[in-house]
Amino acid sequence: MAKTKPITNKNASVKAVLPKWLTTPLYRTNMTVWLVISDLAALVFSAFAAIWLRSLLGRTFSAENYYAYVPAVVVFIIGYALSGLYPGIGINPIEEFRKFTVTSSIVMAALTALTFFTQSGLKFSRLVFLFLWMLIVVILPVTRMLMRKLGLLLRIWGEPVALLGFGPQGKKILSYLRKNPTYGIRPEIVVIGRPEETAPLANLDERVRRISAYALLDDPKMLENANIQTVIIAPTEIPQDLGTAMVDEQKFGIKHLILISSLNWIGGSAVRVHDMAGLLGLEVEHNLLRTRERLFKRVFDVFLMLVCGIVGFPIMAVCAVLIKLDSPGPVFYKHKRVGKDGKDLYVWKFRTMVENAEEVLEKTLAEDPVKRTEWETNHKLKNDPRATRFGRNLRKSSLDELPQLINILRGEMSFVGPRPIVRDEVKYFAKVFSLYVQVLPGLSGLWQISGRSDTSYESRVSLDEYYIRHWSVWMDIYILVNTFAAVIRRRGAY
């Protein structure tokens, strides 16, 4: 059995003589200051950019009259703070985007109303307000992401936490936090509750220290002495004695306690919290399974179709000409997929393969066991021998999916949703399939922005289920924005 690494504190002697508030690391304060500086810089830039854009539209506009009001952007910082956007750790990016958009809109509406009630509205251009709002909504989430990444490089972003429990849930949490360091939660200690978990583990390295749950019970100040202020608890994976003792987190010197639910099929925005005489109640919402949300989503699709069609259909015309010039055969082809309610759906695509594609595939799979394994695992081939020269470019740019605007126009698909599957793939969805067929398949989805073809099929199914249960219009907007970024980077596309 591997020895458990003890937790040592090099500053113990210093802490003994200094007040506690001087020796406690201000992780959250530092990260709050980091993001406030970022947001202020982005707000000031947005204000000057809005004034400059307005000055380009009219000679009678005097930009100098607006510069004195730029410091008023601090009102946005106050609004963001009240919305819980600081310190900005442990927050879902979709929820952060929603809060940013809503809060920015409220502050802009308040500033507009203030100029009206003070009878100074005629002094200000409405376009400046519009440009400022648009720039804030676009620029601030981007600058926040960049500042988080810069903070990681400078080692000033991320709060060290202890993970209590290292069974299936604990390992999943550790893996997620390792893959998403910008989340701001950095596991440094794992508290193990079972003897078998003391064995060497591949996903634990020198950065993570392991201690026994019973050692923590014997010395409750162990985490505090290691400057840990936040713990994540998987209740089913720690001894009951430790779980009961953790109710009094002050005894352990803990300020923040994150409890992981054992109900893996619920979570996030699909749950509403209820207080029932001091007991925690969780109401599971259905979101995209309700008629009202589906109707709203359809209206959203129609609006996007009016906007995207102006650009999309001319691009389709150009692609059609290039396909005809590149190789013989039709421009489009319709692929049979599974649609809503399990009915057959014929998905429109640009042709990207040679005319005898099926024969080429059969020959390739018969001759190449590596490609056969890849096909059986992902139902895709990275270096597909069936693809034409221009077809490869269409796939990498994802423009081969553009004709699905026709499916969206006909109400057979949505801009965002689970990607349509073929009948042979139904077996991978198991019990989730009955949930999958209750919604319209999408042109893009969580799978698209999570690595697309580089993710496993199991992950794809999990992402589709998550989307259906947690849908919101903010999630759709977030996915669409990140889809464009993934397409530009050609991430996971082949």
Element containing residue 280 per DSSP (H, E):
strand 279-284
Percent of the chain whose predicted confidence (pLDDT) is above 70:
83
Q: Angle formed by the axes of helices 369-378 and 357-367, to 10°?
A: 120
Rounded average pLDDT over 116-135: 77
Structure tokens at 372: 């056969």
pLDDT at 12: 46
> CA-to-CA distance for 25 and 77, rounded, in angstroms?
24
Most confident of the ranges 16-25, 343-352, 384-393 = 343-352
> How would residue 55 be classed by pLDDT, with cut points 50, 70 and 90?
confident
**C-beta separation of 462 from 86 below 8 A:** no
* Cα 177 to Cα 183, 186, 187, distances in angstroms: 7, 7, 8
pLDDT at 238: 84
Contacts of 111 (CB under 8 A, 6+ apart): 72, 75, 129
> CA-to-CA distance for 212 and 189, rounded, in angstroms?
11
Tell me the residue type at 308.
Answer: C
Q: 378 or 290: whose pLDDT is higher?
A: 290
Burial of 351 (0-12, 13-18, 19+ CB in 10 A): buried
What's the number of CA atoms in the CB half-sphere (13 Å) around residue 314?
A: 4
Q: Which of 294, 291, 312 is nearest to 398 (CA)?
A: 312
Rounded average pLDDT over 24-32: 80
| pLDDT tens profile 63-92 | 777 777 788 889 999 999 999 999 888 888
Q: 160 or 470: whose pLDDT is higher?
A: 160
Rounded average pLDDT over 460-475: 84
Average pLDDT, the chain: 81
> How would residue 14 be classed by pLDDT, with cut points 50, 70 and 90?
very low
Give how far the C-alpha of residue 38 lies from the chain's centroid of Cα atoms, to the nearest Å: 20
Q: Which of 68, 93, 13, 76 is nearest to 42 (CA)?
A: 76
Domains of the chain, first to last: 27-153 (no CATH), 158-262 (3.40.50.720), 291-352+387-489 (no CATH)
Cα distance from N-terminal residue to C-terminal residue, the chain: 46
Rounded average pLDDT over 177-183: 88
| pLDDT tens profile 262-312 | 665 555 556 677 777 667 777 766 677 778 888 889 999 999 988 888 888
Residue 420, pLDDT > 70, answer yes
Q: Angle formed by the axes of helices 473-489 and 93-117, to 10°?
A: 110
pLDDT at 105: 93
Give how far the C-alpha of residue 403 lies from the chain's centroid of Cα atoms, to the nearest Å: 27
Q: Bridge-partner residues for 332, per DSSP?
A: 350
